[in-house]
Amino acid sequence: VNLLICLPWLLIRKRMNRCTRGRSKVPLWIRETLAYTRVLQRSLYYNSLTDSDVVFDSIFEPVFWMVDYITRRFGTVFVCLVVVLISSIVVIAYIVLLPLVLYTYSPLWIAWHLCFGNWIIVMIAFHYYKAAKTSPGFLQKEKCDRPFVSVCKKCILPKPARTHHCGICNRCILKMDHHCPWLNNCVGHFNHRYFFSFCLFMTLGCAYCSISGRDLFLNAYNALERFRHSDMEQPGIPVTGMGPLIGLLPTDFQTAAPPYTLKERMIHKSIIYMWVLTSTAGLALGALTIWHALLISRGETSIERHVNKKENTRLAKRGRIYVNPFSYGRLDNWKVFLGVEKRSHWVTRVLLPSGHPPRGDGLTWDIFSVHHDVIPV
């Protein structure tokens, strides 16, 4: 009986030894490559949950990796580019536009431009610095008793609600919205307000420069056109006397001094550069700001927008309606996002630079304090 029981195991072990001896002749790196290829092949039809999105992500994984690598390496370059562009506009505003304002506008308009322009510059610089330097909120690797909704497949850590993994930062971000290459930082729970405020005030600043500098742009453009045509006409004055007869001069005309200077040309080109840059940047940032404003009104982030859309479609097929558990109403969503707890905070925390932290720690979410707010709607 013991022989009958042990015989199958002996046969299986003998077969495994034969396979091991046969595989030992193949180099290890070839066996590992073949095993990895088989795993990739099986991942395309692993189970019934596999869909077109999984297949697409598997095929384009090298492309995604390359984009993440480039974004990670060139993040500092993007930040320097933003600083240079903003600084160039500020320099043109102070060196070129400010003297024109002081000589042409009334005292009331001068006071308006000085106050509004300097306020916009301070708000843009403050919020950009805070958005780039403030940590978005990382998931701690130590074990804790916090509630979680899933496990990160890359960090192998439990993820709380609204937490997502960033492939560029290679960490889980609390309430992640997206990774911004222009900040070289993720936009998460602790710097989301700084990012949105920077986009908002940057849009206002671009619109201010574009609208107030429209007439200056048209005048500078027309002036450059006149300069270009005057260069083509070869201006000069006729030469008289014995010079042409004795061959001392090569032509019949002596070139006169140009009607414009290099300084005037640079001033006009600076005005055109400022208007074109602020107009194009204002349109792009304006669209981005409106999109994020809609997300904030709904109590969502950019990632949660896609997740909630899929969840809404899935529940709609079952005849049910999906309700976002993190939406407290439009006004309350803005109050939570901006950190407004009383009426004066709309000025001190929204219209003035403020480094106050957001509500909560990004790990747990409580809505009762918002619904019981004493501020009337």
Task: Show which residues are catalytic.
Answer: 180
- Structure letter (DSSP) for residue 93: I
Longest Cα–Cα distance in the chain: 135
d(CA 200, CA 56): 35
Tokens 């009334």 belong to which residue? 106
d(CA 305, CA 357): 24
Q: Is the Cβ–Cβ distance between 312 and 320 less than 8 Å?
A: no
d(CA 296, CA 302): 10
Cα–Cα distances (Å) from 212 to 101, 113, 282, 341, in that order, read 11, 9, 14, 36
Would you tell me the crossing angle of helices 192-212 and 107-133 to the nearest 10 degrees?
150
Residue 190 makes CB contacts below 8 A (sequence gap 6+) with 134, 135, 136, 137, 174, 357, 358, 362
